[in-house]
Amino acid sequence: MAALLADRIGSVASVLTVMAFLPQAYKIWSHRDAAAISVRTYLLLVSASALWTWFGCVIASVPVIVTNSICLVVQLAILLLKLNLQRTRPIVP
């Protein structure tokens, strides 16, 4: 019973974690504006997700691998959109 509850809690947490980044990615993509995004923050998030994915591989935990791999892809997309938009738009003081 406790293992089933733990699995359900982990599943909900995984879905919410992934979903937390989707509105940000959508807004950047649709508005073509990433001015409010911190490159440093997303570098840290990408690094953390990469390490969590690696950790999941080391402990052979499919939920950890899947959740953090998806987060990694979305975070990388946000970071790349930020860098691309930053490169293509002049910086206004």
Per the structure, the complete domain to which residue 31 belongs is given by 2-88
Determine which of 5-9, 28-32, 88-92 has the lowest per-residue pLDDT on average: 88-92
Cα gap 72→87, rounded to integer Å: 22
Question: What pLDDT does 30 receive?
Answer: 92
> What is the CATH classification number for the domain harbouring 34?
1.20.1280.290
In contact, 28 and 83? CB cutoff 8 Å? no
93 within some domain: no
- pTM of the predicted structure, to 2 decimals: 0.83
Using 50, 70 and 90 to split pLDDT, how confident is the model at 90?
low
Give the chain's domain count. Answer: 1
Question: CA Rg, the chain, in Å?
Answer: 16
Give per-residue pLDDT as tens, 16-59: 999 999 999 999 999 999 888 999 999 999 999 999 999 999 99
User: How sure is the predictor about 62, in pLDDT bands with cuts at 50, 70 and 90?
Assistant: confident
Residue 29 covered by a domain: yes
